Amino acid sequence: MQPVLSLNGISKSYGRIHALKNVSFDVPEGAVFGLLGPNGSGKTTMLSIILDILKADTGSFAWFGLPGAPETRQRIGSLLETPNFYHYLSAVDNLTITSAISSRGNAEDIDRVLEIVKLSERKKSKFSTYSLGMKQRLAIGAALLGDPQVLVFDEPTNGLDPVGIAEIRELIKVLAKRGKTIIMASHLLDEVEKVCTHVAILKRGHLLTAGEVDIVLANEDIVEVSSNNLDQLLSVLEKFPGHTHIKQDGKLVQLFLPVGTARLEEINRFCFEKGITLNLLLVKKKSLETKFLELTND
Amino acid sequence: MLPLLKIEWLKIKKYPAFWWMLAIVGLTYPGVNGMTYYGYLKATTGKEITNNLAKMFLGNPFAFPETWHSVAYFSSFFILLPSILVIMLVTNEYTFRTHRQNIIDGWSRAQFITSKLFDVLIVSAIVTIVYFIVAAGFGVYADSTLTHQWTKQLQYIPLFFLQTLAQLSIAFMLGYLIKKAFIALGIFLFYYLVIENIAVGYARFKLNDIGRFLPFEISDRLIPPPVFFSRFGKDAKASYDHALSLIPGHVIYTILLTAATWLICYAVHKKRDL
């Protein structure tokens, strides 16, 4: 299947600063693609290049197999960096302009997206009177106009309150379920972990890794166990066959095993036979945060 | 093209500064021409023989058809007013970062500049309409017995439009390249009011009037000082005729300069990071 977006050796410098160095990856259709990286790692630069705001020094990209062009951008709903609207115009007027430029949506659709982002009551108010969160919602609404197949969100939950963040997360899940391809940059790892199917990690312009979340994260299985006597538990588990290492984490013991070899019943039986009753036993996926820190730490 | 025009008109008509500009132009054009007219009336009404002489020599500069020329000349001093609006319209795009959003949403970079060209065309057309109404109004008011002559000298309407378009295009380019409204306005004002006037004045006496090829002077020469300015002095008639004879050439220079102005903007925008 043809990827929705494919990047091929993209590099970009600002003077002596290399913002992106030879970045290549594909975004498959229907993916929720998380783009991660610390501040200044090149996430927004990358999104700006694929949206034709910045020119890459070298390399190329293709949307739907075609080089970037106004027609391809019209098919993509995008929110890049900040909500960009005419301050003296109302939400409806601003979206009318978005709709006219992108050929996405119409008057009814404008009402529909304002309903989704909960701005219907303030739709006639000037953009300049909006709070930060409302501005962000309007930008998300603009991206949703015309129900595009592909969405690009740069830090979509910026400025939103906890309820707003949860709502946007739900919205992204619903969109993903409907088969939309979503490319999302974020430094909120928790957020990405909850919704993304794929992930790419950038650091100082280098692509560290890219691929399906499960594959990127899971290079080992972690089993968390606990019992009343931790010392005894530790010494028993030392003898458990096949583990790579053991770590004590507060009142828990973490047992690391090669990918796909964690079998809870075996561990349970092993401990019980050695006279230990467990009060906790679960497989823990490595969190994205752990992986991220592992990859981005020097 | 039509959708582009519609989008720009939506941006302009809801922009409060546009209505302020229109109101100020709507007051300034009749105001400045009215003052000149009042000066003319003062010089020509009276029993003194000089008054009658003045009337005979001057003709009525605000009656048809001379009103088209006189009002164009005096109104064109106030290009500054619509220039502020034009500079604001382009620097707003940077302030609101909509110059990026418009591209993200699906305009080509060329379409963005075309949309701004429409802004300048719309403002030029509206200013020309105000000029037309004011000039026609003075024509009827100053001497209603001459209204049958209204079709003469109508060429000053397109000349006024061209001059406005050319000078607003330069204002646009400054705003477009400099990005900051106040700096662009400052440079515009300082150059337009001070530097170029000095340069043109100097060149007139020392450099064979080469100053007429400076950016604003090129189009200033489209509308030379009206005839009643020149009925004094020995060589005045000759210099007035000379100024008139230069107009066709300056029409071409102005069109070339304006085309070049926009081509620069298109070329820069094609390459530049937004």
pLDDT of residue A37: 86
**What's the CA gap between A12 and A205, in Å, rounded?**
9
What integer best gives the mean pLDDT of chain A? Answer: 89
**What's the CA gap between A280 and A58, in Å, rounded?**
53
What is the domain partition of chain A in residue ranges?
5-216, 219-296
Nearest residue of chain B to residue A144 (CA atoms): B105
**What's the CA gap between A225 and A219, in Å, rounded?**
20
- Residue linked to tokens 């309407």: B157
The per-residue pLDDT for range A231-245, each reduced to its tens digit, is: 888 888 888 888 888
Give the residue-averaged pLDDT of A273-291.
82
pLDDT of residue B231: 58
A78 touches chain B (CB under 8 A): yes
- Residue linked to tokens 């210099």: B239
Q: Is B18 exposed, middle or buried (0-12, 13-18, 19+ CB in 10 A)?
A: buried
Nearest to B264 by CA among B165, B117, B107: B117
Give the residue-averaged pLDDT of A48-55.
93
Strand, coil or helix: A32: strand
Which candidate in B6, B11, B92, B101 is best for mutational testing of the A interface (most A CBs within 10 A)?
Answer: B101
Whether the pLDDT of residue A168 is over 90: the answer is: no
* Better-predicted residue by pLDDT, A221 or A112: A112
Backbone angles phi, psi at B110, to 5 degrees: -65, -40
Interface subset of B 75-104, CB within 8 angstroms of A = 92, 96-98, 100-104
pLDDT of residue B2: 87
**What's the CA gap between B155 and B135, in Å, rounded?**
13
Question: Under an 8 A CB cutoff, do A73 and B96 touch?
Answer: no
Strand, coil or helix: A185: strand
Nearest to A99 by CA among B2, B110, B105, B93: B105
A13 touches chain B (CB under 8 A): no
ipTM score:
0.87
**Which CATH topology does A5-216 take?**
Rossmann fold (3.40.50)
**Exposure string (b/e) for A104-130, b if CB count within 10 Å is 16 or more?**
bbeeebbebbbebbebeebbeebbeeb
Question: Under an 8 A CB cutoff, do A51 and B104 touch?
Answer: yes
**DSSP label of A90:** B
Give the right CATH number for A219-296 from 3.40.50.720, 2.10.240.10, 3.30.70.250, 3.30.70.100: 3.30.70.100
Structure confidence at residue A216 as a pLDDT band (50, 70, 90): confident
Query: Could you check whether A5-216 and A219-296 share the same CATH topology?
Result: no
pLDDT of residue B224: 92
Backbone angles phi, psi at A54, to 5 degrees: -115, 150
Whether the pLDDT of residue A260 is over 90: the answer is: no
| Ranges under pLDDT 70 in chain B | 46-58, 229-234
pLDDT of residue A9: 94
Question: Under an 8 A CB cutoff, do A101 and B15 touch?
Answer: no
Whether the pLDDT of residue A222 is over 90: the answer is: no
Provide, as residue numbers in chain B, all residues whose Cβ is less than 8 Å from the Cβ of A97. 7, 10-11
Give the residue-averaged pLDDT of A134-160.
92
**What's the CA gap between A267 and A249, in Å, rounded?**
18
pLDDT of residue A32: 92
Cβ neighbors of B65 (< 8 A, separation 6 or more) are B139, B146, B149, B150, B151, B152, B153, B154
Whether the pLDDT of residue A295 is over 90: the answer is: no
